[in-house]
Structure 1
Amino acid sequence: MKKVLYGLLTAGLLSTMIATPLAVSAESVGDVEKEIEAIQEEKKEIEEKQSGIESNKKDTEKKINENLNQQTSVETEINSIDKKLKDTNDKITTKENEIETTNQEIKKLEQEINTLKNEINELIEKIEKRDLLLKDRLRSIQQSGGEMNYMEVIFGAKSFGDFISRSISVSTIMGQDKEIMDQQKEDKKALEANKKEVENKKAEVEDKKVALEAQKEELVALKGQLDDQLAEKESLMAQLEEEHAELEEIALSYEEEQEILQAEAAAKQKALQLAQDKKSELEQLAREEAERQKQEQEQKQKEQEAANNNSGSNRSNVSNGSNGSNDSKKDTVSTQPSQGNSGGIFSRPSSGSISSHFGMRFHPIFNYNRLHAGTDFAVGTGTPLVAPADGVVFRAGWVGGFGNTIMITHNINGKTYTTVSAHLSQINVSVGQAVSEGQVIGATGNTGDSTGPHLHFEVHVGGYGNPVNPVPYLK
């Protein structure tokens, strides 16, 4: 969030953070009036910027709501896919159980088939034996002349009892032959039926297994599709959650920027009041100077009239003329600021040697190369912090990764600057307060994104968002 916040603040305040003068350096009322007009224009720009930020904030809040609605929709879809996955997994389990049952049926059928095969083998053996018996019977009948031999046997009886006995014997033999023939016929039918039953059962179970395997493959394929859909939705949900977090950070950054702009607007109002006070002071001085010059002129006129009236006395006239030409020196007011040594305009905000310079560096916390937009001074916690120049405080409090921070706006030699002192342990000033160069305004520390006690000091030309190397600007 710190990186996003810093970027937004830098971009958002690049053209709006215009410094505010504490001591107006104008040399005339006209200059101060121009300064007042400039401050009023800057206030107007701030108001427009605030309006733009409010609009952006509303857009961001709208995007947040849309994001949340989309998250709800995706979550519903994920729940639906989860339900379908559960149902599919249950169906896969059911199919696997059915396949296992079918496999058991196949095993059982194989046992039945083996039993039937044994029965078939027994039937085949019986049929073969009957075939041999029938062949022998047919051969015997053929050799004895067929059915007429039975008649000869019957009518060859020597007595009625012998006739009855022979008839019963013939009938028994013929019945046995018929029974053998019928049994042979039934066994052959059973043999064919058993063979067909075994083949049908085997084909039926194998078809059932193939169908179950196909159904399982379809369910596994469906599960794969659902897994892909779920992964896609979960990835989308992760993106939406990340986007939501970024939007929340942006919204917070807009709030932070609004606070800074409100603070700046208050500082502008303070500067406007100071400029108006300076204008009143200059107007008063101008009136006093005009009155003094008027009185001086009236005095000269009186002296001249007295000289003309005493023209008889040359020495007196000379003396009076000499006195008349001895004008009092004119009082002047200069608001031109003193120049710093070697071009420096800011006092060192704190003691201590420089431990890290302005420029690109590998950040010790975020672990990537980024701009170090200031200069670090190696000082312990609690070291006094002083205002580097006259100015007005427009930010005094916690600012993201800066921790406790004081931002001051300055007007020096007609140019605007903003100074930033960060990671403080103590803040002794408040927003809108006018400070003087060298005034103790706080104490150094180790707050925010900091790896140890130090002072992080920045200089921005033309307002916050335009960082430059502070070292050339130090006295």
Structure 2
Amino acid sequence: MKKVASSILIGVLTLMTVSTSGLHVSAESIGDLEKKINDLEKEQSGLSEEKSNLEGNKKDTENKISKNKSEQSSVEQEINSIDEELSTTQNDINQKENEITETNNEIETLTNKINELTERIAVLKEEIEILEDRIEKRDALLKQRLRTIQQNGGDMKYMEVIFGASSFGDFISRTSAVNTIMDSDKTIMEAQAADKKVLQENKKEVEASKEEVEVKKVAVEDQKKSLENQKQELVALEGQLKDQMKEKETLMAQLEEEHQDLEEYKMSIEDEQKVLNDQEKAIKLAKQQYEQEKGNLEQLAKEEAARQKAAEEKAAKERASQSSSGSSGGSSSSGGSETVASTPTPAPSGNAIFIRPTSGPVTSSYNPNRMHPVHNVVRPHNGTDFGQRSSADARILAAADGVVSTAGTLGGFGNTVMITHVINGKTYTTLYAHLSSIAVSSGQTVSQGQQIGVMGTTGTSTGVHLHFEVHPGGYKNPANPMNYLN
């Protein structure tokens, strides 16, 4: 019969033993395959449960993303409202500042006017002093003349002066002199009255003007204080609005960061769902291959049993023929076959079940608490990094026989290959990240040592290297790869 390849998932199975009569099938091999098939069915059940949990996590994350978007929309509306109010407040502040500037100009004008009036009052005071001195002297002169007139009989004195003339010429001269004196007295009295009137009017005018200006200045200064108080209130409101704006912008930044984290988490869930789907396909394929191997072994067992039965029947006939002849007395050697127990291929010692995926040197070890070289935060380094010294190191090899579950871009890993292995009844996933190119496709079976890609620096990477991970029991169970490498 045509031999079915079993190297895809578990290595070489020893199926046969050698005897003198031909192939002898080991029943234990069939039992081993049945156990491995049962183990795969358990893996399938576990994957189904994990896929269900992931779907629940995805829906929960989508709800959180929807809620986050709603909150972002609400905060954005609040920010726009605050921004409008802030703009209005700033315009009001500018208007108040303009009004305060105009008021200051008005106060300055009034102050200058008051100063002018003050200076005018000072000048008037000097004029008043001169007028008062002039009035005082006139009052004294008039009093003196009045006393003289009273002592000399009033107007009769002027008559005596006139009629006492010695000649007509003297009469004319005396009459002119008397008129002059009388006109002078009249002028003095009129000037006296006019000066007093001017003095009173000037004092009244200046004092009224000054009082009016001072009242207006007080009113303008009160208006200025009111404007300054209004400005202070607006400035305080502006400060509150800026604080609110800062809080809302901080909240928006947090929501945006949370949204990004949720989107990344959703993508990681979707990536993980894809990995699980691919892994499920790989396990299904492995199960089919095991079942085919089991069918082949069962067929071989039937054929072996038929051969043994035929050999036993032939030997029995020969023994019967020899017994019936009697005379021959000869003896013949048995034609039966000697059974040799099968010996399975020994597994590698310890956990060393994978070969190194590259000949390059280790540049970064497995570390659950490593500082990420790009993001500068503590993030687990769930694998081992291998560098490149020569072109030969760039060849990336399958660490063991298996089925490619993922072959493509995977988030920060860049170009990534993931292979599902079933070794000694246990499932493993190996991951090869940051490849520059991929040489296999999803669902493809690969052999240990087969080239699957070329080392690169795709995804989140600081240089050309291979990031290699080992996940016993399936993806999302990282372990130190060096514990599994030969």
Q: TM-score, normalised by structure 1?
A: 0.77
Of 378, 388, 399, which residue of structure 2 is paired with 1:378? 388
Per the TM alignment, residue 241 of structure 1 is displaced from its structure 2 partner at its CA by: 2.0
Q: Which moved more, 1:464-473 or 1:386-395?
A: 464-473
Q: Distance in 2 between matches of 1:445 and 1:199?
A: 87
Greater relative CO (CA pairs within 8 A, separation 6+): 1
Q: Distance in 2 between matches of 1:385 and 1:176?
A: 127
Judged with a 3 Å threshold, the aligned counterparts in structure 2 of structure 1 residues 271 and 73 are, in CA distance, closer, same or farther, namely same
Q: Which moved more, 1:295-304 or 1:173-182?
A: 173-182
Q: Distance in 2 between matches of 1:182 and 1:386?
A: 124
1:114 paired to 2:115: yes
Identity across the alignment (%): 46
Partner of residue 3, structure 1: none
Is the 1:355–1:378 Cα contact (8 Å) retained in structure 2?
A: no
Q: Distance in 1 between matches of 2:459 and 2:209?
A: 91
Judged with a 3 Å threshold, the aligned counterparts in structure 2 of structure 1 residues 133 and 253 are, in CA distance, closer, same or farther, namely same
Residues 65-464 of structure 1 mapped to structure 2, 5 A cutoff: 65-125=66-126, 127-128=128-129, 186-303=201-318, 305-306=320-321, 310=324, 313=326, 316=329, 319=331, 322-323=333-334, 326-330=335-339, 336-340=344-348, 344-359=352-367, 364-367=373-376, 371=381, 373-376=383-386, 378-381=388-391, 383-464=394-475
Judged with a 3 Å threshold, the aligned counterparts in structure 2 of structure 1 residues 471 and 60 are, in CA distance, closer, same or farther, namely closer
Q: Distance in 1 between matches of 2:260 and 2:351?
A: 46
Q: Distance in 2 between matches of 1:203 and 1:31?
A: 109
Q: Distance in 2 between matches of 1:179 and 1:96?
A: 52
Q: Distance in 1 between matches of 2:76 and 2:194?
A: 80
Q: Distance in 1 between matches of 2:279 and 2:53?
A: 16
SS at match of 1:464: coil
Per the TM alignment, residue 259 of structure 1 is displaced from its structure 2 partner at its CA by: 1.4
Query: What code does the residue aligned with 1:416 have?
Result: T
Q: Which moved more, 1:280-289 or 1:249-258?
A: 280-289
Query: What code does the residue aligned with 1:465 have?
Result: K
Query: What code does the residue aligned with 2:250 have?
Result: S
Q: Which moved more, 1:24-33 or 1:235-244?
A: 24-33
Is the 2:403–2:446 Cα contact (8 Å) retained in structure 1?
A: yes
SS at match of 2:230: helix
Deviations 1:253-276 (A, max 9, x none): 122112111111110111121121
Judged with a 3 Å threshold, the aligned counterparts in structure 2 of structure 1 residues 124 and 327 are, in CA distance, closer, same or farther, namely same
Q: Distance in 2 between matches of 1:399 and 1:98?
A: 64
SS at match of 1:396: strand
Q: Which moved more, 1:116-125 or 1:174-183?
A: 174-183
SS at match of 1:338: coil
Q: Distance in 2 between matches of 1:97 and 1:353?
A: 74
Residues 456-475 of structure 1 mapped to structure 2, 5 A cutoff: 456-475=467-486
Deviations 1:340-373 (A, max 9, x none): 3687332333334445444466655455665362
Question: Over aligned residue pairs, what C-alpha RMSD do you find?
Answer: 4.1
Q: Distance in 1 between matches of 2:433 and 2:133?
A: 118
Q: Distance in 2 between matches of 1:429 and 1:314?
A: 73
Judged with a 3 Å threshold, the aligned counterparts in structure 2 of structure 1 residues 333 and 454 are, in CA distance, closer, same or farther, namely same
Which structure 2 segments of 5+ residues have no match? Answer: 1-7, 15-26, 160-180
Per the TM alignment, residue 136 of structure 1 is displaced from its structure 2 partner at its CA by: 6.8
Deviations 1:431-450 (A, max 9, x none): 22222223333344444444
Is the 2:275–2:406 Cα contact (8 Å) retained in structure 1?
A: yes
Judged with a 3 Å threshold, the aligned counterparts in structure 2 of structure 1 residues 154 and 319 are, in CA distance, closer, same or farther, namely farther
Q: Distance in 2 between matches of 1:236 and 1:155?
A: 113
Deviations 1:11-37 (A, max 9, x none): xxxxxxxx9646668934444334323
Q: Distance in 1 between matches of 2:457 and 2:391?
A: 7
Judged with a 3 Å threshold, the aligned counterparts in structure 2 of structure 1 residues 447 and 136 are, in CA distance, closer, same or farther, namely closer
Per the TM alignment, residue 299 of structure 1 is displaced from its structure 2 partner at its CA by: 3.8
Per the TM alignment, residue 237 of structure 1 is displaced from its structure 2 partner at its CA by: 2.0
Q: Distance in 2 between matches of 1:198 and 1:270?
A: 105
Query: What code does the residue aligned with 1:373 have?
Result: G
Which structure 1 segments of 5+ residues have no match? Answer: 1-18, 159-165
SS at match of 2:272: helix
Is the 2:82–2:241 Cα contact (8 Å) retained in structure 1?
A: yes
Query: What code does the residue aligned with 1:374 have?
Result: T
Q: Which moved more, 1:70-79 or 1:125-134?
A: 125-134
Judged with a 3 Å threshold, the aligned counterparts in structure 2 of structure 1 residues 45 and 24 are, in CA distance, closer, same or farther, namely farther
Q: Distance in 2 between matches of 1:305 and 1:465?
A: 68
Is the 1:424–1:447 Cα contact (8 Å) retained in structure 2?
A: yes
Is the 2:117–2:206 Cα contact (8 Å) retained in structure 1?
A: no
SS at match of 1:319: coil
Q: Distance in 2 between matches of 1:425 and 1:342?
A: 33
Is the 1:116–1:194 Cα contact (8 Å) retained in structure 2?
A: yes
Q: Distance in 1 between matches of 2:95 and 2:259?
A: 41
Is the 2:312–2:336 Cα contact (8 Å) retained in structure 1?
A: no
Mark the structure with the bigger radius of gyration.
2
Q: Which moved more, 1:238-247 or 1:28-37?
A: 28-37
SS at match of 2:233: helix
Deviations 1:365-394 (A, max 9, x none): 455665362251535457444333222221
Judged with a 3 Å threshold, the aligned counterparts in structure 2 of structure 1 residues 457 and 102 are, in CA distance, closer, same or farther, namely closer
Per the TM alignment, residue 231 of structure 1 is displaced from its structure 2 partner at its CA by: 1.8
